[in-house]
Amino acid sequence: MPVIRIYGIRHHGPGSARSLLEALEAEPPDLVLIEGPADAQDLLPWVGHAGLKPPVALLIYNPKALRQTAFFPMAAFSPEWQAIAFALRRSVAVRLIDLPMSLAFGLEEAAAVEQWKAPRYDPFDDIARMGGYTDPERWWEVHFERQQHTDAFEVFAVVLELMRALREAKEAQSGEESRETLLREAFMRREIRRARREGFQHIAVVCGAWHGPALAEVDAFSAKDDEALLKPLKRQSTQATWIPWSFERLARQSGYVAGVLAPAWYQEIWDGNAGLERWFSRAAQLLRREGLAAPSSQAIEAVRLAQALAVLRGTPLPGIEELREATITVLCEGAETAYALVERHLVVGDVLGQTPPDVPRTPLMADFETQVRSARLKMSTEEMTLELDLREEAHLRKSRLLHRMELLGIPWGREQAVGGRKEGRFHEHWLVRWQPDYAVQLIEAGQWGGTVEEATTNRLHWQLASVRELPELVALLNAVLRADLPDVIGPLLERLEDTSALAQDVLALADAALPLVEALRYGHARRLNMEAVEQLLEHLMPRVCVQLPGACMSIQYNVAMEVLKRLLSMQRAVALWRPEEYSPLWQETLERVSAKGAPLLAGLCARLLFDREAYSLAEAVRHMALNLSAARPPLECAQWLEGFLHGGGLLLLYRPALWEAVNGWVCALNAEDFEQALPLLRRTFSAFTEGERQKLFALAQHTQQGSSTPAALELDPARVELLRPLLQRLFD
């Protein structure tokens, strides 16, 4: 008569894995049956591959319906992983016997997610409360994961009896199991019967502890009833592969139902390095690297506190709760924000698994990994900063891949603003962080093509049909240029040409001008042919210059604030692209707005004209005097002044005549008018830097005391000309 051993384990339990290995070594089976999707059977030999390093996950998906996807993660301390590795080392037959996802995907109630739905009633809650614990996970860890048991078989016998009692309690409380559980257990029993028919004499069944009673009593269930239960299921096509997983995703906090609270701590337990002194020493070192005070004496005190807490709670060894409380109390001095750093690295962990390059993959995944190696990028769950200089080919490859991934809807990297001396079209800054979920998104993106370039191109062709607005098209053009997708540029430019020709909203055209100029400059940096973009700008720039003044007249203040942004972006666009050709036309636009535009915009344009030296100082003072006259409402005067001083208050410091005009207007206001204008004045001056405000305050004090206004700073024209080439290089 065949001997069947039931090993009820806790998923991702290092204690369960250790007891399981001891039992398998003591009584070697000739067949190991493991709870796991049967349609991943062909992937088991990879567990012995040196390139497959946990944490990893079995990924099973329906290639005809990519939303049907399921993960089955494993870490080095997962009992299932150790059981497979044991069987491969001993050349023992090993099989996965759980309901295949090809059948599970066909269930109406089953969701294609990471794990089956948990039952509403959890009997472990009851037994944990009986033992004095509020968390069943904590109870299991104390009694089964951290205990040093002398007889592994006795442990599994106790677990089996405990599960029988708990299942009876659950049945009395809420009725029979869910349909998913009944189907899975029926399928596993069918596989056990098949193994017996094939002549195996010593069969080890490794399953979640909850399923143990339903599998230990195979003969108590009718084979005919099990077949009748499984017969209505419809089979779907599935494919399976190994993908890298992370401790962060394995953690229960990530939403994975069968996850664990502390993967990094469990890894320490599995490796035999779970000594308190070592753990607290590493925690102290981690805090010190972040500039926090964590001396060795505090680490020693934290060890003592964790041990004392374990004694008070009647547990044989401190667990993760004792570690947490001791760390916060002693090392972090009560600051939970500091503990978050320790938790991320030493409790949850930042470990990402690896898969060998020849593991089964979709064509897109294979090409992506080739691109990653070519670009020398690292798929890490730790957030990293990349500073790229696009004049270097290696950096250009990194940028191209990150932009393509972004266009595929996989946000591996987030581009950051570039400042300082590196600001310009040749530099990019990225924050990159890989998530295991992105592997699934790559599989889904495989519907668009077999390579990253092909998939991105096809997806953009499809997306282009739904993009209607000019700013969206321009933003898409910028992204396409950065991703270096020449097959999309032609159709995209045609859409841009047609949309801009039909566009009636001059503000939308103004929104597009600067991005197009930047796209043009970026394309030149990428060594692309940008003749079509230049032709588009040749049509767009004159239209904006002619039509924009009409959009600046007779509008409310809040609308004027939005138009102000367009004026500034157009000013920048003209300065960057053919200024010798378009500056006269743009200057005419500014003059028209300065004369008849809304007060805020009229003030801004007067300032821009003064900066362009189209107005002399005397003309600027005259314009200011006219717009700050007593004949105008004080609120309009304040709006005009806000526009004129947009960008900083240095103008008032180095142009005494302008300061005197502003000061004279403010002093001439009566109490009622001053109260009306004060909010706008306060907002205008609050935008200045602290240094500017202090100097203006000192200037106001001098003026109030009757002192002479400080003389304007005199600049030597010859020395200014010497600096001009350097300044142009810095700000180009």
Local mean pLDDT, 10-residue blocks, the chain (732 residues): 89 88 93 94 93 90 79 91 95 95 74 41 69 72 67 88 86 77 93 94 93 91 92 89 85 54 85 81 90 89 91 79 90 86 86 85 84 90 87 89 93 79 67 86 80 90 82 84 85 82 81 81 61 80 90 91 92 89 92 92 92 87 87 90 86 84 86 87 85 82 58 62 72 55
Contact between residue 337 and residue 235 where contact means Cβ atoms under 8 Å apart: no
pTM of the model: 0.66
Q: Which amino acid, one-letter code, is at 659?
A: W
Dist. CA 240–CA 654, nearest whole Å: 71
Going by the DSSP 8-state scheme, the letter that residue 64 receives in this structure is T
CA distances from 4 to 32, 201, 215, 597 (A): 10, 8, 10, 89
Instruction: Tell me the residue ranges of DSSP E strands in 289-434.
Output: 384-389, 413-416, 427-432
How many CA atoms are closer than 13 Å to the CA of 717, on its beta-carbon side?
0
Domain boundaries, the chain: 3-254, 275-348, 363-454, 616-732
What sign has the CA pseudo-torsion 681, 684, 689, 691? negative
Structure-block tokens of residue 182:
């009944």
> Residue 22 corresponds to which tokens in the numbers above?
């001891």
Can you give 356-379 as a three-state secondary structure string?
CCCCCCCHHHHHHHHHHHHHCCCC
Q: Which amino acid type is present at position 105?
A: F
Please report the pLDDT score of residue 110 as a whole number.
44
What pLDDT is attached to residue 199?
92
* Cβ-contact 217, 123 below 8 angstroms: no
Confidence at residue 404, expressed as pLDDT on a 0 to 100 scale: 93
Q: Is 509 helix (H, G, I), strand (E, B) or coil?
A: helix
- End-to-end CA, the chain: 85
By CB atoms closer than 10 A (0-12, 13-18, 19+), residue 672 is: exposed
The CA distance from 26 to 24, in Å, is 5
Stated as kind and residue range, the H or E segment containing 641 is helix 634-644
DSSP for residue 199: T
> What angle, 0 to 180 degrees and rounded to 10, lies between the N-to-C axes of helices 506-525 and 531-551?
150
